[in-house]
């Protein structure tokens, strides 16, 4: 497997139409988008990004959903 040299944010697009390049964190283990806060850890398949955009993509927790009144 080739080492990761850079990551692009899947949410943020630059004026030229390309996805924004993410900043490399210490040790090159993680990358963060300076615009939306999206975080990627390419080597950690269990990591779940805590950014708002990823949170909004999660399905609702059935325990948290209140029944609609009739």
Structural domain contains residue 63: no
Q: Give the residue numbers spanning the domain of 50.
A: 8-57
The length of the chain in residues reads 70
Structural domain contains residue 28: yes
Structural domain contains residue 25: yes
Structural domain contains residue 16: yes
pLDDT in tens, 11-53: 999 999 999 999 999 888 999 999 999 999 999 999 999 999 9
What angle (nearest 5°) sits at the alpha carbon of residue 27, between those of residues 13 and 22?
5
Structural domain contains residue 3: no
Q: How many domains does the chain have?
A: 1
Structural domain contains residue 66: no
Instruction: Specify whether the CB–CB gap between 32 and 11 falls below 8 A.
Output: no
What's the whole-model pTM score?
A: 0.75
In 3-state terms, the chain is what percent helix, strand and coil (to 5)? 15, 20, 65
């Amino acid at each position: 497997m080739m080492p990761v040299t850079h990551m692009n944010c899947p949410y943020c697009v630059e004026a030229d139409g390309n996805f924004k390049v993410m900043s490399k964190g210490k040790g090159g283990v993680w990358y963060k988008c300076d615009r939306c806060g999206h975080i990627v850890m390419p080597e950690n398949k269990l990591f779940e990004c805590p950014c708002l955009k990823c949170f909004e993509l999660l399905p609702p927790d059935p325990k948290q959903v209140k029944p609609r009144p009739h």
